[in-house]
Amino acid sequence: MLKIDDQKCNACGLCEKTCPFGAIAVDEGLARSDENCTLCGACVNVCPQGAMAIERKQASPEELAQYEGVYVWAECDLNDGKLSPKRVVYELLSQGRLLADKLGQELVAVALGDGRLAGLESLCEYGADRVLRCEHELLGAYSTDGFTNVLSAVIAGNKPSVLLYGATPNGRDLAPRIAARLRLGLTADCTGLNIDEQGQLVQTRPAFGGNIMASIIAPYSRPQTATVRPNVFTAAGPDPLRPKVVVDVAVTLNKAAVRTKVVEETVLGGGEGESLESATVIVAAGLGCRQGGGLALAGELAKVLGGVLAASRPMVEAGLMPVTRQVGQSGTTVGPELYIAVGVSGAIQHLVGMSSAKTVVAINKDPEAPIFKVADLGIVGDAQEIIPKLIEDIQRQQADA
Ligand SMILES: Cc1cc2nc3c(=O)[nH]c(=O)nc-3n(C[C@H](O)[C@H](O)[C@H](O)COP(=O)(O)OP(=O)(O)OC[C@H]3O[C@@H](n4cnc5c(N)ncnc54)[C@H](O)[C@@H]3O)c2cc1C
């Protein structure tokens, strides 16, 4: 329940302005809540006097069973003046569809934005039964306060059983805020999601430096929330025949509740060329490329193939490549059509970042290197001898084509 300390409340009215449900009124010099309160916690966050607190008891199995549905936060990016869903949302919907079918529940995408929200029907083509469109002028650019207030209100009001986010920069910011506000468990950077016999979400992720895969459940709170990096799941193809249901949700959001101001709108791209996340061809240079011009050769191979040069963590730590090019557990998760690992041993922390690659080619002088266990094609030998021959051969074929 929401507790208001009469001694501390000075009737400033900020809670009344912030409450997304109109559940608080300041009357006779004190704030009071009514039955519309969903315990979303927005008032607790803004109260300058620290006069509001939420007291919760542990939910019973019967209460947990009231939570139904798999929800996906449909994060949108600004492209050509439109706010359209990011690729990771489609990946999450494909996996979410499997989870929802196992539970026999609906799959719902929740999109937040301003009047530029577009392309939301496509979320239904990728598996959503419904899309909740939360439109407000203060949601045009991501803000922690604005998005936390609105999404936590939607979640508190709809009571889903599962809530998934892409582990993007904004997803990594939003998911823990919602979890803290609604007192939920959260598993970050999941590499697998499933439903067990009790209907619980089993969240799998590497733990202890990637040496074990941990299966995590949240038996005492709902929704069960998880983030998943882009490229961990593959988006199934769209089904244009699926019904398209986009429902508008009334949004209450006060300027006073959003403490950050966007000075300049996000502009995608620029600077470092194609991003690793969306690259279709990646050449990854490991420590085996450190000497004798190996890195330059790997870069040349990437260029000839029209791909992107990436690296293992030690190459980044050695200052030879920027951190934005690191593949792996503490770097980026990639899912290209072709991944060429040059002088990469294949440590588990590297493999978790590229296991979604369609075709893996490994070049390594150690025939026992673990990378060969995940490679579709392996070349045993010195990269400095092999890469020039490969480049020559590719260029000859390109000239003949
Ligand atoms: C918490 C944690 C997080 C981590 N996160 C990441 C991460 O995100 N990404 C990541 O990559 N690592 C990560 N690591 C480090 C990881 O454990 C490995 O140490 C790292 O991946 C090894 O990099 P490497 O394969 O380039 O180097 P090495 O393991 O040293 O392998 C070099 C390979 O090059 C081969 N080689 C040498 N010379 C040649 C040559 N001339 N031609 C062909 N082959 C040659 C060798 O046979 C060897 O197999 C993490 C570790 C921890 C503990």
Q: What is the mean pLDDT of the chain?
A: 93
Q: Is the CB of 343 under 6 A from ligand 1?
A: yes
CATH number of the structural domain spanning residue 203:
3.40.50.620
87 lies in the same domain as 231: yes
Structurally, the chain folds into a number of domains equal to 3
Q: What pLDDT, on the 0 to 100 scale, is given for residue 278? A: 86
Report the atom number in ligand 1 closest to the C-alpha of 294: 41
Q: Tell me, yes or no, whether 309 and 387 share the same domain.
A: yes
Q: Write the pLDDT tens digit of every residue in 270-300.
A: 445 678 988 999 999 999 999 989 999 999 9
Kindly report the protein residue whose alpha carbon is nearest to atom 3 of ligand 1. Answer: 330
Atom of ligand 1 nearest to the CA of 314: 23
Asked if 92 and 164 count as a contact pair (C-beta separation under 8 A), the reply is: yes
* Residue 89, domain member (yes or no): yes
The answer, yes or no, to whether any atom of ligand 1 lies below 6 A from the CB of 144, is no
Is 187 found in the same domain as 138?
A: yes
For residue 208, give the 3-state DSSP assignment. Answer: coil
Atom of ligand 1 nearest to the CA of 312: 11
Q: Does residue 286's CB lie within 6 angstroms of at least one atom of ligand 1? A: yes
Cα 23 to middle of ligand 1, angstroms: 55
**H/E stretch holding 53:** strand 52-54
Quote the ligand 1 centre to 344 CA distance (angstroms): 5
CATH of the domain at 26: 3.30.70.20
- Read off the DSSP letter of residue 169: H
Residue 55, pLDDT score:
84
128 shares its domain with 251: yes
C-alpha 350 to ligand 1 mean position (Å): 7
Percentage of residues of the chain with pLDDT beyond 70: 98
Residue 118: inside a domain, yes or no?
A: yes
Burial of 280 (0-12, 13-18, 19+ CB in 10 A): middle
Check if 345 has its Cβ closer than 6 Å to any atom of ligand 1: yes
Any atom of ligand 1 within 6 Å of the Cβ of 325: no
Q: Is 270 inside any structural domain?
A: no
48 plus 69 within the same structural domain: no
Model pLDDT, residue 226: 98
**92/207 same-domain check:** yes
Q: Is residue 95 part of a domain?
A: yes
Same domain, 189 and 292: no
Higher pLDDT, 28 or 68: 68
Residue of 226 and 272 predicted with greater confidence? 226
Residue 215 inside a domain? The answer is: yes
pLDDT of residue 281: 97
- Give Cβ neighbours of residue 107 (< 8 Å, ≥ 6 apart): 69, 70, 72, 93, 96, 97, 99, 100, 127, 128, 129
Q: Give pTM, 2 decimals.
A: 0.75
d(CA 232, CA 250): 33
Distance from the alpha carbon of residue 307 to the mean position of ligand 1, in angstroms: 21
Distance 312 CA to ligand 1 centre (A): 6
Asked whether 380 lines ligand 1 (CB < 6 A), one says no
Does 65 lie in the same domain as 43?
no
Determine the average pLDDT of the residues in 316-343. 95
The Cα 43–Cα 54 span in angstroms is: 10
Residue 82 lies in a domain: yes
| pLDDT tens digits along 81-116 | 999 999 999 999 999 999 999 999 999 999 999 999
Whether 226 and 303 map to the same domain: the answer is no
Any atom of ligand 1 within 6 Å of the Cβ of 350? yes
Same domain, 7 and 137: no
Contacts of 339 (CB under 8 A, 6+ apart): 282, 284, 354, 357, 359, 360, 361
Rounded Cα–Cα distance for residues 163 and 367 (Å):
44
The DSSP secondary-structure symbol of 59 reads P
Quote the CA–CA distance of 9 and 47 in Å, as a whole number: 9
pLDDT of residue 103: 97
Instruction: Write down the pLDDT at residue 307.
Output: 95
Alpha-carbon distances, residue 50 vs 14, 45, 258 (angstroms): 12, 8, 18
**Domain containing residue 80:** 61-257
Q: Which CATH number belongs to the domain containing residue 344 in this structure?
A: 3.40.50.1220
264 has pLDDT over 90: no
The average pLDDT across 158-185 equals 96
pLDDT at 150 over 70: yes
**Residue the block writes with tokens 């459940």:** 217
Q: Say yes or no: 18 and 48 in one domain.
A: yes
**Is 83 in the same domain as 186?**
yes
Please identify, among 257, 291, 325, the residue that sits at the C-terminal boundary of a domain. Answer: 257
Whether the Cβ atoms of residue 108 and residue 93 lie closer than 8 Å to each other: no
